[in-house]
């Protein structure tokens, strides 16, 4: 059993709640941090939301998400960069020290081309991020998403890209859902930590069998991921930040969110 001072929850995890309701309930239940998804900020002033989060006693851990840099169409790439610059401004106003990047991929071109465009996009955005005091975290995504969501699919690929970009405010978000299957993941976590590039740690579980490959993530302890093994690895590698619960689940979104929050807290205490 453990206390909740490193527990962060992503707003998308309790998607039926507005950010205001989520903040109120997370704070009341002793959750310590919140990662805000950009859709939760729609029609709101990010600075006001950030203040209300801090007033409730929660820490803003990150803003999700930027990225989606690659495209065969140069205009689309320019629009993506513009959107990432907006995300950086939003993060700064919100008081979020980090933006998580779902890097993107275009199935109309080779993955290598998408990777080159990702590195180009991150480099183009990194200066504004540095001025705003915002870090950027490349989140390697499970290879089942390599078609259209991310051409960065392993910790090794994320580390290689960070080496190539070589900026202190560009690192990696380690999400167990995406990397648990990879025999090189633990070694690459150590490599990432040695370079001081582990910027975030996301948890949920892999349901067996998974019924939907986007929206059927399981609560910690319900699936086959050895989450403490990965938590131990990131902490051994020097990471001292939050354990962020990020669950997309049409099943859980259809249930009562208050009792779901209690389940999240219980699963966190027992399985993270």
In whole angstroms, what is the distance from residue 97 CA to residue 124 CA?
A: 18
Strand positions, DSSP E, 139-266: 170-175, 198-203, 243-245
Residue 212: other Cβ atoms inside 10 A: 12
Strand 135-138 and strand 98-102: pairing? parallel
Q: With respect to Zn ion, which residue has the nearer C-beta, 38 or 202?
A: 202
149 binds Zn ion (CB under 5 A): no
Binding mask of the shown chain, residues 158 to 197, with x at each position contacting Zn ion by CB under 5 A: -----------------x----------------------
- The secondary structure of residue 171, as a DSSP letter, is E
Q: With respect to Zn ion, which residue has the nearer C-beta, 77 or 135?
A: 135
In whole angstroms, what is the distance from residue 248 CA to residue 121 CA?
A: 27
Tokens of 88: 């950086």
Where in 88-117 is the site for Zn ion (CB under 5 A)? Answer: none
65 binds Zn ion (CB under 5 A): no
Q: With respect to Zn ion, which residue has the nearer C-beta, 80 or 137?
A: 137
Give the interface size with Zn ion as a residue count (CB under 5 A). Answer: 3
Tokens of 94: 């919100």
Residue 68 backbone phi and psi in degrees, to 5: 50, 50
Residue 148: other Cβ atoms inside 10 A: 14
202 binds Zn ion (CB under 5 A): yes
246 binds Zn ion (CB under 5 A): yes
Nearest distance from C-beta of residue 177 to Zn ion, angstroms = 7
Nearest distance from C-beta of residue 10 to Zn ion, angstroms = 8
205 binds Zn ion (CB under 5 A): no
Q: With respect to Zn ion, which residue has the nearer C-beta, 10 or 77?
A: 10
Interacting residues with Zn ion (CB under 5 A): 175, 202, 246
């Amino acid at each position: 059993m453990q206390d909740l001072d490193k527990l962060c929850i992503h707003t998308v995890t309790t998607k039926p709640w507005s950010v205001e309701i989520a903040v109120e309930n997370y704070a009341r239940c002793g959750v310590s941090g919140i990662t805000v998804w950009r859709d939760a900020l729609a029609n709101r002033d990010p600075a006001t939301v950030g203040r209300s989060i801090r007033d409730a006693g929660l820490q803003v851990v990150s803003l999700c998400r930027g990225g989606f840099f690659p495209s065969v169409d140069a205009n689309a790439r320019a629009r993506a960069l513009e959107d990432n610059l907006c995300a950086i401004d939003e993060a700064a106003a919100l008081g979020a020290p980090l933006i998580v990047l779902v890097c993107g991929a275009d199935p109309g071109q080779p993955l290598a081309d998408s990777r080159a465009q990702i590195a180009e996009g991150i480099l183009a955005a990194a200066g504004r991020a540095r001025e705003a005091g915002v870090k950027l975290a490349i989140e390697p995504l499970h290879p089942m998403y390599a078609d259209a969501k991310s051409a960065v699919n392993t910790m090794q690929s994320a580390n290689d890209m960070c080496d190539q970009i070589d900026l202190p405010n560009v690192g990696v978000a380690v999400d167990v859902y995406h990397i648990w299957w990879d025999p090189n993941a633990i070694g690459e976590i150590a490599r990432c930590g040695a370079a001081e590039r582990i910027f975030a740690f996301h948890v949920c579980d892999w349901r067996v069998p998974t019924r939907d490959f986007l929206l059927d993530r399981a609560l910690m302890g319900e699936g086959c991921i050895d989450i403490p093994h990965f938590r131990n690895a990131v902490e051994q590698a020097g990471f001292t930040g939050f354990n962020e619960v990020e669950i997309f689940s049409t099943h859980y979104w259809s249930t009562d969110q208050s009792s779901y929050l209690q389940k999240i807290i219980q699963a966190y205490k027992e399985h993270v």
